[in-house]
Amino acid sequence: MIAAPFGATLLGDFGAEVIKVEMPGKGDSLRRMGPFKGDEPLRWPGLARNKRSLTLDLHGEEGQEILKKLVAKSDVVIENFRPGTLEKWNVGYEDLKKVNEDLIMIRVTGYGQTGPYSPKAGFGTPATAFSGYTYLQGYTDRPPISPSFSLLDYITGVYVAFATSTALYYRDAAEGTGQYADIGLYESVFRMMEFLVIDYDQNGVIKERSPGLSGHSSPAGTFQTKDGHWIVLVTSSDRTFERLAQAMDREDMLSDDRFYTNAVRLQHFDLTNGIVADWVKSKDRDELQKLLDEYGVPISSINSIEDIFEDEHYKARENIVEIEHPRLGKVKMPGIVPKFSETPGSIRNVGPDLGADTNAILKDLAGLTDQEIQSLKENSIV
């Protein structure tokens, strides 16, 4: 529900014309996903921004032929059905390539188009568990923890935008051809865990769940300040630990054979973290932040969304923007990332109402008349 649409939204932020194809009368499942304000889905305005909505039933031949007319004038099709679904509807990659030989198709599923698990239902939380990520999260004396939001889907959405851009570059700049890209949800986060693969391959280590960066860097973790706030601190290099030792007035640790390198600190992780925890507990949050910023030690308070709304850096970076919504008035949503110097992107509209652009799309792109469109509506095809 999220991965492929989010990837298309990222492209839309930078000017791509994106048409969201939805079932007549029902619409996309995201329209029925919380949170809500009354009957209004609050996720939809931001996740479907910069898109146009076309209703079209692909189960029958008439709807399939209309899609092919649109594809003939399009660069990319992004889809997120189970393998074989589009082929069953006669609009798979090979079918669509017949009407547009330069077509690029991005295919997102839980487990990919191939392999024994390819037919399985694919949602982010089970795919996250399959990837090995969930196994690492939590404490050893408690069950593994799934992410509290659709992390895997959003990561995969970045791969969707990346795959689209790469395929377009190959086709247009490198004078190549159209092609399809096959992305399994679980693969997007598995690709980021090369440390897990090589450690098992070379050392036979099965990394168990642990909080923070345990096993990578020391000291590292979550610490509580004197005034009750939680902060995250990490020293991923010996140089940053040197700066922390100086800030703590514990330069003696730099010559101590238990602490002088990251490798030996990892062997004494609990002891090292305990020393840092006691020191952090002696400082108020703002005092600690100021001191460690001066020394160049990586630290951040653990922000709630309320903290984020009030933070001056978020404001300066325009990480939260305000957009007009037809029923809610002004709504806030995340800003555009990344920030290009010459093509900064824009938010042209919030997620559209169901079928809001059907008439215009069918007339302008498919070349249908008003009478033909009316007939399609009467037959519930759009």
Active-site residue, from 28, 57, 153, 357: 153
Task: Quote the CA–CA distance of 240 and 233 in Å, as a whole number.
Answer: 11
Q: What is the mean pLDDT of residues 364-379?
A: 96
Average pLDDT value for the chain: 96
Q: Does 3-192+312-378 carry CATH code 3.40.1350.10?
A: no
Mark whether 28 is an active-site residue: no
Which pLDDT belongs to residue 211? 75
Which pLDDT belongs to residue 210? 81
Task: Quote the CA–CA distance of 262 and 256 in Å, as a whole number.
Answer: 12
Q: What is the 3-state secondary structure (H, E, C) of the chain?
A: CCHHHHHHHHHHHCCCCEEEEECCCCCCHHHHCCCEECCEECCHHHHCCCEEEEECCCCCHHHHHHHHHHHCCCCEEEECCCCCHHHHCCCCHHHHHCCCCCCEEEEEECCCCCCCCCCCCCCHHHHHHHHCCHHHCCCCCCCCCCCCCCHHHHHHHHHHHHHHHHHHHHHHHCCCCCCEEEEEHHHHHHCCCHHHHHHHHHHCCCCCCCCCCCCCCCCEEEEECCCCCEEEEECCCHHHHHHHHHHCCCHHHHHCCCCCCHHHHHHCHHHHHHHHHHHHCCCCHHHHHHHHHHHCCCEEECCCHHHHHHCHHHHHCCCEEEEEECCCEEEEEECCCCCCCCCCCCCCCCCCCCCCCHHHHHHHCCCCCHHHHHHHHHCCCC
Task: Quote the CA–CA distance of 339 and 337 in Å, as a whole number.
Answer: 5
Exposed/middle/buried for 158, CB within 10 Å: 0-12, 13-18, 19+? middle
Distances (CA, A) of 353 to 5, 20, 382: 15, 11, 14
Task: Quote the CA–CA distance of 351 and 31 in Å, as a whole number.
Answer: 10
**pLDDT 10s digits, 37-92:** 999 999 999 999 999 999 999 999 999 999 999 999 999 999 999 999 999 999 99
Task: Quote the CA–CA distance of 140 and 270 in Å, as a whole number.
Answer: 15
**pLDDT 10s digits, 164-210:** 999 999 999 999 999 999 999 999 999 999 999 999 999 999 999 98
**299-301 β-sheet, strand order:** 220-224, 230-234, 299-301
CA Rg value for the chain: 25
- What is the CATH superfamily name and number for domain 220-301? formyl-coa transferase, domain 3 (3.30.1540.10)
Going from N- to C-terminal start, the domains of the chain cover: 3-192+312-378, 220-301
Task: Quote the CA–CA distance of 98 and 80 in Å, as a whole number.
Answer: 21
In this prediction the pTM is 0.93
Token pair listed for 197: 């693969």
Distances (CA, A) of 265 to 204, 216, 218, 235, 272: 22, 10, 6, 11, 7
Which pLDDT belongs to residue 243? 97
- Is residue 212 pLDDT above 80, yes or no? no
Q: Hey, how many other C-beta atoms are within 10 angstroms of the C-beta on 203?
A: 8
- Is residue 215 pLDDT above 80, yes or no? no
Q: What is the mean pLDDT of residues 293-313?
A: 96
- Is residue 336 pLDDT above 70, yes or no? yes
Q: Is 141 in contact with 135 (CB distance < 8 Å)?
A: no
- Reported as a pLDDT band with limits 50, 70 and 90, residue 214 is low
| CA angle centred on 17, ends 164 and 51, rounded to 5° | 105
Q: For the chain, give the percent of residues with pLDDT over 90.
A: 96
- Reported as a pLDDT band with limits 50, 70 and 90, residue 216 is confident
- Is residue 151 pLDDT above 80, yes or no? yes
Render the burial of 222-253: b for 16+ CB within 10 Å, e for the rest: ebebeeebebebbbeeeebbbbbbebbeeeeb
Q: What is the mean pLDDT of residues 311-338?
A: 97
**Among candidate residues 243, 223, 252, the one with its CA nearest the CA of residue 291:** 243
Which pLDDT belongs to residue 236? 84
